[in-house]
Structure formats: structure tokens, C-alpha cells
Amino acid sequence: MAVACQDEAGPFQTVPYPGAHWASAGHPARQAQEYLRLGTAKLLTLFRPATGTVRATGVTPCPHAVLHPWLKAAMIARLGDLPAPGPLTDPGANRACWTRWQAGLRVRITLPDELPRLRLLLVWDNLAGHPTPALVLWLFAPGVMVLSTPLSGSWLNRAESLHRILKRRALDGQHPQTPEQIIAWLEATARAWNADPTPFVWGGKRAARRIRARQRRHALGGSGAQAAHSFRCRSHGYVRHN
């Protein structure tokens, strides 16, 4: 099953951004003490974790009239990259493929009576403009099932991780003067990322490093606290390992 993640990064202000940057030796770049807030910019992204590629467009305002047409165009291009759907032979089994993604939800989306073959899962957040009936029904028509991240669960949307990478590469150590400059830097960074993308997987090398780090720590009593080293029990004079 193909998966795509949609999210909006920002807003990014026209202020100095802390971070490392290149400069001549002995001549560090200096940023102005005062700055003017001359507007903000956002980055609309549709991320494909399996390949690491992202469709990114910078905007200044982001009302429904801007977000919905952009998302539809991005989804049409994304679906065009997928294999053509095969014939639908078992409508009951096909409906079960759709409904299984709503198992356990307190609020479920009402699915149409006739459903096409499920082709893609779209992960997005709980933005108020997302669950509009017209947009959701438009996504259902070509076989796209929408999955909203729960409150305080934005980390489940992998586009959030990519946003941090793009923002750091584009803006750290810089002082943009206009929203248009922010948009140009972010879109250029996204194009450079797509030239050599990194696929995102759950439980990759970084997760394995975290597991090894936890295994090297020592639990403190029955609590969830841990220590980097074993500790000596003063009353008995021996080293205790848990």
C-alpha cells in the first residue's frame, strides 16, 4: 500500500535564524540587532516516505482556496506515479480494506456506497480545512484513504521530520529579508533534497542505536529513571546492577 504524508511547514518569519553557517576565517557573519517582521511564509509539502521524495511549494497566505487546489494537483501527480488499478472483483473485500483503517476510531468518516480500489493512504494532521466533505469525497474517488494524526501525535506524520531537515538546511544561520526569499530558499532546498532523497523507514539505524543506548543504561530501582553507570550501595559496599 502506497503512503503519502501531507503537511504545512511554518510559518517562517523574516527574522535572523540561529545556526551554523559558512564564513571567512576571522570574519564571522553578523546579523542585525533589530529586525522587521515583514510577513511570513509557509511550505506546502506532499512527502513519499518510501522514496524520500517531496513535492514542495512555498506560499504566503494559506486559506482553503490555496491549499485545496494545490493538494489536488499534487495528488493527481502522485497517483500518476502508481501502477494502474486492477479490476474490482470483490466489492465486499474492497470495502473491508477501507474500513480496517478506521478500526478503533471514535469518530469515523462516512464512506460512500461505491468505493474504488484502495490505492494510497494519505496521512495528514487535524487542520480544520482538511475534513471538508468536498475535499474528502474528491480524495475517495481515485482511491485515496485519509488518516488524521491524533492530537499531540504530529510525530506520526513523517513529513514533520522532513520539515525540520529542510528548515535547518535552508534557514539556519540566515536572515531572510522578505517572505519571497524564504520561499525561494525552501523550494531550492527541496529540489536539492529530491536530487538525492533518503527513504524514511520505521525502526531504521537510528532506532537501533537508541535500543543499544538503552541497553547500556542501568535502571534505578523500580522507576522509569536510568543511569549511565552502575552505582555503589554505600551501606553494603558493593556495586549493584539492575
- pLDDT value of residue 152: 66
- pLDDT value of residue 155: 65
- pLDDT value of residue 242: 47
Q: How many helices (H) and strands (E) does the chain have?
A: 6, 9
Q: Following DSSP, what letter does each residue of 172-211 receive, concatenated?
A: TT---SSHHHHHHHHHHHHHHHHHS-----TT-HHHHHHH
| The three grid cell numbers given for residue 32, joined into one nine-digit string | 542585525
| Domains along the sequence of the chain with CATH | 2-195 (3.30.420.10), 205-240 (no CATH)
Consecutive sets of 10 residues in the chain, 242 residues long: mean pLDDT of each?
Answer: 85 83 78 75 90 90 86 88 80 83 79 85 78 85 83 73 89 88 93 90 75 76 68 55 48
- pLDDT value of residue 200: 81
What ranges in 17-174 are assigned the alpha helix state H?
64-80, 91-99, 133-140, 159-171
| The three grid cell numbers given for residue 164, joined into one nine-digit string | 525540520
Give the HSE-up count for residue 154: Cα atoms under 13 Å, Cβ half-sphere: 14
Residue 74, phi then psi, degrees to nearest 5: -65, -40
- Would you say 161 and 12 are in contact if contact means Cβ atoms under 8 Å apart? no
